[in-house]
A and B are shown apart, each in its own frame.
Chain A
Amino acid sequence: MGNNIKIYLENVSKVFGPDALNALALIDKGMTKTELLEKKGHVLGLHGINLEIETGKTTVIMGLSGSGKSTLIRHLNRLIEPTSGRILVDGEDILNLNALELRQFRRKKISMVFQKFALLPHKTVLENVIYGLLIDKVPPHAAKERGMAQVELVGLSGFENNFPGQLSGGMQQRVGLARALATDAEILLMDEAFSALDPLIRHDMQMQLREIQARLHKTIVFITHDLDEALLLGDKIAILKDGILRQVDTGMNILKNPADDYVGRFVRDVNRARILTCGPLAQPGTPTGDTRLNAEQTLESAFPIMAAAQGPIGVLANDGALLGVVTARQIMEALIQQDRAKSTLVGSDI
């Protein structure tokens, strides 16, 4: 366990029901989730989760509904208590915290954004944003000052005295985000934070989150059922199914080497042109023309530029240095290769 690990889950399991410990023992002996539900009336939430969450990175936990992802994220601030296992934050097992210490932990160190916003309807935007600060007994005047900074950060200046019900869904979730950022917590939990928003707004919010993250470098744990969202936001992606982690890796590696058949099927329909970036394809050469691509630009966004270009196009790194060049042919080949790899893989697995 290196220094850059913020949260470490060690063999965390969760069974819902009155006799969870014995039910877990049955699972450990090989009983399946369905059998447990039918014979014992207990629900298996998570089983044997081992996960490292890196400091300052965005870790996406991905899975379909019922996979246990919402259960997992609620373990990180102990809204749900595990049946067994350890949860270390900065090397300290948070399961050892007493009620008072747990409250302090939640007030100072970790904050959360909710799927359905969970704002207080009878409080204004600003009052909602400073909720966590007031809970922490920050004096109201100082809290308001810090709150206004967050309101500005998420682009809601001028709306601070409105009520949540007067705002659109996207704006409400910005309030939720500002509320989570206001306590200056190092860890930000986002439980399907953008799933309730319509696609255009969702994309705006994703971009805004990336922007904010580039500035603040929080340790973000983001839950989603949407692979595109996971690939867009996640430095690391953990794929969860039926309470078990199937694969934890970077988005690129999961696309290239799905760990099993389930993950393979999951990533099959992803539009790679939207995920793969120009940077890794750049090869030494001399660009023709003045147009340049950015290394972090997706292949899809490069299509129109390629179509208009005559020869190889230069790719620039973030600092403006020339990485190399790409040609339309190269991009096509990259996509075809991926496609072939994918079809052989899916073919062999099914």
Chain B
Amino acid sequence: MTSQFPQFFDTRAFGRVLDSAFNDVVAAYGLTLELIFLPVLKALLAMEQLLLWLPWWAVLIGFSAFAWLASRSAKIMATVALLIFLIGVIGVWEQAMATVALMLVSTLMAVFLGLPIGVLMSRSNRVQGIALPVLDIMQTMPIFVYLIPFVMLFGPGKIPALLATIVFAIPPVIRLTNLGIRQVDVEIVEASRAFGASPMQVLTTVQAPLALPAILAGINQTTMMALSMVVIASMIGAGGLGYQVLQGIQRLEISRGLFAGLGIVFLAIIFDRIAQAYGKRMQKTLKLGA
């Protein structure tokens, strides 16, 4: 005998209503939404094709140059170059480029959307009060739950993968933008206002530059989360390294899973090193005056 929790209302009926309502939305707007996101899909595909069209050494040089610009450290540049090389060596180049494309586009869009939301949150306690629990839910909700509605709306493919990745990866950049701006010395903000700065001028001349290390930390976390989500998203047709892992499971091929997994690890290290080195360099510049 198991004791049962009493049923206060019929959740199955409620669930049916929700499901049918969403089905109606899909039927009514699915096509329109697909058209709206067509440019995003094109951008994503263009990015993927560009990375695959470039010869491998050009990609390697490009990443290394980017690492140098961000870190000004030969060691980090060499690490990045080596890891890119290894990705090619273990034979997952094409898949890795597809993953990088999806990750870059989703991270860019997450940052593009997340920054203004974070700024808005920092300006109003009420907005913050509403947004924080929403962000909490977004971050604790199992990743797979995001896949369901997006797949229903768009069918399996790159667009639902991209959107699910954005939703999953956006919270850190919002949170840390908000936090970073709120932590800026009140007296400096006051000084800026005292000299007649408009709210926009306060943001661009004081808040944004002083909150930059925190914002960069947020972007770094968002990048990492996008990478982890891109792997999961392969289940709904995002392709890339995650798909190799998935195939490894389906075919019980350890090597396939391992090589793809290593590729993901290498990508994670590359993006993390670049972002962290840049963050540290920014912090040093600010420390001069602390």
Contacts and interface: CB of A to CB of B under 8 A. Distances in A.
Report if A and B associate in a common complex.
yes
Interface of A: 77, 79, 102-108, 110-112, 114-116, 118-122, 131-132, 134-136, 163-166, 179, 183, 189
Contact of A165 (B190, B201, B290): B290
Contacts of B210: 120-122
Interface of B: 185, 187-188, 190-198, 201, 205-206, 209-210, 285-290
Contact of A118 (B190, B201, B287, B288): B190
Contact of B288 (A106, A115, A122): A122
Nearest to B209: A122
Contacts of B198: 103
A120 B188 contact: yes
Given A77-B194, A107-B196, A120-B205, A165 B187 contact: no
Nearest to A107: B196
Contacts of A163: 288-289
A270 B198 CA distance: 44
B281 to A, nearest CB: 12
A120 B187 contact: no
Contacts, number: 79
A204 to B, nearest CB: 22
B208 to A, nearest CB: 11
Contacts of B209: 120, 122
Contacts of B185: 116, 118
Contact of A132 (B195, B206, B285): B195
A135 B195 contact: yes
A145 B47 CA distance: 47
Given A102-B196, A111-B194, 5 more contacts: A103-B198, A120-B205, A120-B289, A121-B286, A121-B290
Contacts of A189: 194
A166 B288 CA distance: 7
A135 B201 contact: yes
A165 B285 CA distance: 10
Listed from nearest, the 8 A-B pairs whose CB atoms lie closest are A121-B289, A107-B196, A106-B196, A165-B289, A118-B191, A132-B195, A165-B288, A163-B288
A222 to B, nearest CB: 15
A161 to B, nearest CB: 12
Contacts of B195: 106-107, 111-112, 131-132, 135, 179, 183
Contacts of B196: 102-108, 132, 135-136
A147 to B, nearest CB: 13
Contacts of A103: 196-198
13 contacts: A107-B195, A110-B194, A111-B195, A114-B191, A119-B289, A120-B209, A120-B289, A122-B286, A131-B195, A131-B205, A136-B196, A163-B288, A183-B195
Contact of A114 (B187, B197, B285): B187
Contacts of B201: 135
B193 A165 contact: no
Contacts of A136: 196
Contacts of A165: 287-290
Nearest to B186: A118
Contact of B289 (A111, A132, A164, A183): A164
A106 B193 CA distance: 8
Given A103-B196, A106-B196, A122-B285, A135 B205 contact: yes
B188 to A, nearest CB: 5
A102 B192 CA distance: 13
A132 B288 CA distance: 22
A197 to B, nearest CB: 16
A164 B210 CA distance: 14
Contacts of B286: 121-122
Nearest to A109: B196
A116 B187 contact: yes
Contacts of A104: 196
